[in-house]
């Protein structure tokens, strides 16, 4: 007479924790695999109905060792947590990007080693700024059923796809409102580069238009003064792709974009001119891959 098999437990099954992961949890883990880290506030506005529900779930995932967390030492608030993949989250996202400062570095041996690279990254605040832009778009989709963020690519992902043209965008997205779909490249400006350096980046984006889409380049700047200086520098500059400026702290989905070629009125993101390239004429959905969907 055979004995019944013992029940599966957390000790006997290293992947037992996966039964506790929701679709929303897995979406969050996929973001952390590509974008390295997100703050509590960013997770809350992108995925949860309230900050409290986000904190409760993040604490649960941290206790399950799905997430690691650390305090943002540059935040004015002393208890702002930043989240990255934990040991168990790392086991189911082995293809995660592993070094924000050196993409060519050897893959880490553990989530802790990966976490050390993130915490010590000189780009940490820049990463948070870029991710905040996209989390604001995701937050917009939660209150506007006509809006959808089809694609959210990190700097490393976008560079892998378009780097041959000589560009290294901080992010790339595809955004839809109603029947209008706009692709874009993002340059998250922190006023750390001379205007001449920013303008020289335009050449690479023009090369993209030679073989691919003609997407607007979004220059997301920290102040109105920086925006005015950029607009003055762009005056009379003829570019193959649209160039638009917007200011940190505003809703990137809203009427906050000023086209360098036509600065008469602010435009919504979905109103910016966009051409999906030679494949779109015969394959209207070619620019959207099923895995791109990031809707909250």
- pLDDT per residue of the chain (296 residues) written in tens, 0 to 9: 556 645 555 555 677 788 999 999 999 999 999 999 999 999 999 999 999 999 999 999 999 999 999 998 777 665 689 999 999 999 999 899 999 999 999 999 999 999 999 999 999 999 999 999 999 999 999 999 999 999 999 999 999 999 999 999 999 999 999 999 999 999 999 999 999 999 999 999 999 998 889 999 999 999 999 999 999 999 988 999 999 999 999 999 999 999 999 998 999 999 999 998 875 544 444 444 434 544 43
- Evaluate whether 146 touches 27 at the Cβ level (below 8 Å): no
Complete domains list, the chain, with CATH: 16-121 (1.10.10.10), 125-292 (no CATH)
Give the three-class secondary structure for 105: coil
- Evaluate whether 216 touches 243 at the Cβ level (below 8 Å): yes
Output the pLDDT for position 282. 44
Positive or negative: CA dihedral 45, 48, 50, 52: negative
* Strand partners for 245: 219, 258
> What span, in angstroms and rounded, lies between the C-alpha atoms of 200 and 108?
34
Q: How many CA within 13 A on the CB side of residue 8?
A: 7
> What span, in angstroms and rounded, lies between the C-alpha atoms of 175 and 17?
34
Residues 120-143: b if buried by 16+ CB within 10 A, e if exposed: ebeebebbbbbbbbbbbbbbbbee
- Evaluate whether 10 touches 16 at the Cβ level (below 8 Å): yes
* Strand partners for 221: 247
Positive or negative: CA dihedral 145, 150, 154, 159: negative
Listing DSSP states for 88-153 in one string gives HHHHT-TT----SS-TTSPPPSSHHHHHHHHHT-TTHHHHHHHHHHHHHHHHHHHH-TTEEEEEEE
Q: Which residues contact 39 (CB under 8 A, 6 or more apart)?
A: 72, 80, 81, 82, 83, 128
Phi, psi for residue 29 in degrees, rounded to 5: -65, -40
Output the pLDDT for position 73. 78
- Evaluate whether 36 touches 128 at the Cβ level (below 8 Å): no
Distance of CA 170 to the CA centre of its chain: 8
Q: Map tokens 């990254």 to a residue.
A: 121
Give the three-class secondary structure for 15: coil
Output the pLDDT for position 236. 85
Distances (CA, A) of 193 to 158, 160, 199, 230: 21, 23, 10, 12
Output the pLDDT for position 144. 95
Q: Map tokens 């400026």 to a residue.
A: 245
């Amino acid at each position: 007479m055979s004995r019944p098999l013992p029940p599966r437990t957390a000790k006997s099954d290293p992947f037992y924790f996966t039964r506790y992961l929701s679709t929303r949890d897995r979406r969050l883990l996929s973001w952390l695999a590509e974008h390295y880290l997100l703050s509590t506030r960013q997770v809350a506005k992108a995925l949860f109905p309230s900050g409290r529900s986000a904190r409760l779930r993040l604490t649960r995932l941290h206790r399950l060792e799905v997430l690691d967390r650390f305090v943002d030492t540059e935040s004015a608030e002393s208890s702002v947590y930043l989240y990255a993949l934990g040991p168990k989250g790392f086991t189911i996202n082995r293809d995660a990007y592993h070094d924000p400062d050196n993409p060519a570095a050897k893959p880490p041996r553990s989530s802790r080693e990966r976490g050390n690279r993130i915490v010590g990254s000189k780009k940490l605040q820049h990463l948070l700024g870029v991710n905040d832009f996209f989390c604001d778009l995701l937050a917009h989709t939660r209150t506007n059923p006509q809006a959808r963020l089809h694609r959210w690519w990190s700097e490393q992902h976008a560079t892998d796809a378009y780097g041959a043209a000589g560009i290294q965008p901080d992010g790339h997205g595809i955004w839809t409102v109603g029947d209008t779909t706009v692709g874009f490249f993002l340059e998250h400006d922190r006023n750390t580069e001379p205007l001449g350096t920013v303008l020289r980046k335009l050449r690479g984006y023009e090369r993209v238009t030679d073989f691919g889409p003609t997407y607007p380049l979004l220059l997301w700047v920290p102040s109105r003064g920086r925006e005015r200086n950029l607009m003055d520098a762009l005056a009379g500059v003829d570019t193959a792709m649209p160039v638009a400026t917007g200011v940190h702290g505003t809703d990137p989905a809203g009427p906050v974009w000023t086209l360098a070629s036509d600065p008469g009125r602010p435009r919504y993101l979905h109103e910016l001119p966009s051409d999906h390239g030679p494949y779109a004429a015969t394959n209207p959905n070619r620019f959207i891959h099923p895995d791109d969907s990031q809707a909250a």
